[in-house]
Amino acid sequence: MIDQDVLDRTLRAALRDGGDFAEVFAEDRRATSGRYDDGKVEELVTGRSRGAGIRVVRGETTGFAHTADLSEAGLREAATAAAAAAQGDGGAATVVALERRDAARPHDVVVLPETVGKARKVDLLARADAAARAEGSAIQSVTASYADAHRRILVANSDGLLTGDDQVRTRFMVQCVAAGDTGMQTGMEAPGRSVGFELFDEVAVEDIARAAARRAITLLDAVPAPSGRLPVVLRRGAGGVLFHEACGHGLEADLVQKDASVFKDRVGEAVASPGVTLVDDGTFAREWGTFSIDDEGQPAARNVLIDDGVLTDYMWDLLRARTASRASSGNGRRESYQHLPMVRMTNTYLAAGATEPADIIRSVDRGIYCVQLGGGQVNTATGDYVFGVTEAYLIEHGEVTAPIRAAQLIGNGPETLRLVDAVGNDFETWTGTCGKNGQGVPVSAGQPTLLVRELTVGGTAA
């Protein structure tokens, strides 16, 4: 994308007036998306975004500027703007000679999306629409979407690092609306992987569509969700987002260093039930949050955050790691070249245990069984979090019974970690977009079937 000597001169320009560290992050991203709605191909859109973000760090202050102009003059202008924010006395750091260092790829991408004709992508959408509608006349609306993105990044910094990555992601989503006597209900299914078009050799779009349609139809018979504190069983894959919210964000070093995390100063302490092992793994092959290098050029890594109940480490980006005189954990990510990196999760999961999932359900006299969650939110300073349930059932006397309407679950992170009473021997992941300070990045979350002794269920039934 940019010649090495141009990068070198840009970094020198960035540090000319002082500063401890300078970095050029360049990105070239092409995306294709298609939407089938109302029984027809409504939209096929292609997009291109290309540019560079330059930051200059001096002490605790970061100056940042970005530009879509990748010429040497354009980069120079952005470097000067970024440097202006980080000026001061003291000797400027020198730029170490750039040396290319590429990280191992977690997996290979087989079929690059740009090598697949648009007609084949559009065809998937029509097939999904037909499969969803075939589930029954209650299905009144189907939206199928396809999205692929090919993102090339380049990172060069004044420590002499020069590296890059080629990231491909493909996702397919079906959303159905079912109508019945009780009103309308929705069902969604949206798998995604850090792979190319081979995704569709592994998952049939018809299966995705049928899962979404059945979910919407099932909910037509849903009873109001209960209200109050109840045992909650999270089916494998459904509850990864719970741990993402309940403790993942609180283990991000930027929030910890700002005294905005309930997990501050707790490394080495038992923070969760024995049997709870939480991992964030950017190298998890093919998962939605996977990459070779993060957006600061640091290799992806598998980081154990909680080991058998004991807090072992936080997640780190380059700047927070420098402050703490340690290495980055490969968690510095950004939405695009227009954003500053910060500490972000990748693929965060709770490791499998030994209990049979069926035994977990049988152990509950009255509670709820969550099959799909819709995302959540946390206040890391208090640890209070919520997440929405989009498919769940009552558990009565150890049996899964009636479906319940959508409801919010609410809990407190440190408390929930201590309430995990059983960890299943199964495992699945969930695909999502994590938002923090207005930036969205692709992540996955995973877990085995779990029993949480008690969570507050926000339904309307007495």
Site residues for other proteins, 318-357, by CB under 8 A, read: 338, 340
C-alpha–C-alpha distance, residues 378 and 219, integer Å:
27
From 407, 417, 451, 452, residue interacting with other proteins (rule: CB under 8 A) = 407
Helix (H, G, I), strand (E, B) or coil at 40: strand
Amino acid at 409: L
Q: Tell me if 431 contacts other proteins by CB under 8 A.
A: no
Q: Which C-beta is closer to other proteins: that of 114 or that of 202? A: 114
Q: Which C-beta is closer to other proteins: that of 299 or that of 411? A: 411
Say if CB 62 and CB 319 are below 8 A apart. Answer: yes
Per-residue DSSP letter, 111: S
Q: Which C-beta is closer to other proteins: that of 197 or that of 284? A: 197
The span of 10-18, 95-103, 302-310, 400-408 binding other proteins (CB under 8 A) equals 400-408
Angle at 390 between CA 384 and CA 395, to 5 degrees: 90
Say if CB 425 and CB 356 are below 8 A apart. Answer: yes
Q: Which C-beta is closer to other proteins: that of 4 or that of 46? A: 46
For 20, phi and psi rounded to 5 degrees? -100, -20
From 367, 411, 413, 424, residue interacting with other proteins (rule: CB under 8 A) = 411
- The residue to which tokens 């919407």 are assigned: 216
Residues 231-250 contacting other proteins, CB under 8 A: none
C-alpha–C-alpha distance, residues 78 and 5, integer Å:
17
C-alpha–C-alpha distance, residues 292 and 104, integer Å:
6
End-to-end CA distance of the chain: 61
Q: Which C-beta is closer to other proteins: that of 423 or that of 443? A: 443
The pair of three-digit structure tokens given for residue 395, joined into one six-digit string: 């558990």
From 62, 145, 194, 444, residue interacting with other proteins (rule: CB under 8 A) = 62
Residues 261-280 contacting other proteins, CB under 8 A: 262
Q: Tell me if 212 contacts other proteins by CB under 8 A.
A: no
DSSP per position, 246-262:
IIIGGGBHHHHHTT--T
Residues 88-117 contacting other proteins, CB under 8 A: none
From 111, 285, 406, 419, residue interacting with other proteins (rule: CB under 8 A) = 406
Q: Which C-beta is closer to other proteins: that of 67 or that of 292? A: 67
C-alpha–C-alpha distance, residues 144 and 324, integer Å:
46
From 18, 160, 275, 375, residue interacting with other proteins (rule: CB under 8 A) = 375
Q: Which C-beta is closer to other proteins: that of 141 or that of 363? A: 141
Q: Which C-beta is closer to other proteins: that of 78 or that of 168? A: 78
Residues 178-207 contacting other proteins, CB under 8 A: 179, 183-186
From 109, 162, 219, 246, residue interacting with other proteins (rule: CB under 8 A) = 219
The pair of three-digit structure tokens given for residue 225, joined into one six-digit string: 């969700």
Q: Which C-beta is closer to other proteins: that of 141 or that of 312? A: 141
DSSP per position, 285-297:
TT-TT--SB-TTS
What is the closest distance, in whole angstroms, from the C-beta atom of residue 325 to other proteins in the complex? 19
Q: Identify the bridge partners of residue 236 per DSSP, sorted by sequence position.
A: none
Q: Tell me if 416 contacts other proteins by CB under 8 A.
A: no
Residues 29-48 contacting other proteins, CB under 8 A: 34, 37-38, 40-48
From 323, 379, 425, 433, residue interacting with other proteins (rule: CB under 8 A) = 379
Q: Tell me if 312 contacts other proteins by CB under 8 A.
A: no
Q: Which C-beta is closer to other proteins: that of 11 or that of 378? A: 378
Kind of pairing, strands 278-281 and 347-350?
antiparallel
Residues 278-307 contacting other proteins, CB under 8 A: none
User: What angle separates helix 4-14 from helix 72-84, to the nearest 10 degrees?
Assistant: 20
From 101, 258, 326, 366, residue interacting with other proteins (rule: CB under 8 A) = 258
Closest by CA position to 65, among listed 337, 269, 459, 397: 337
What is the closest distance, in whole angstroms, from the C-beta atom of residue 175 to other proteins in the complex? 9
C-alpha–C-alpha distance, residues 188 and 169, integer Å:
19
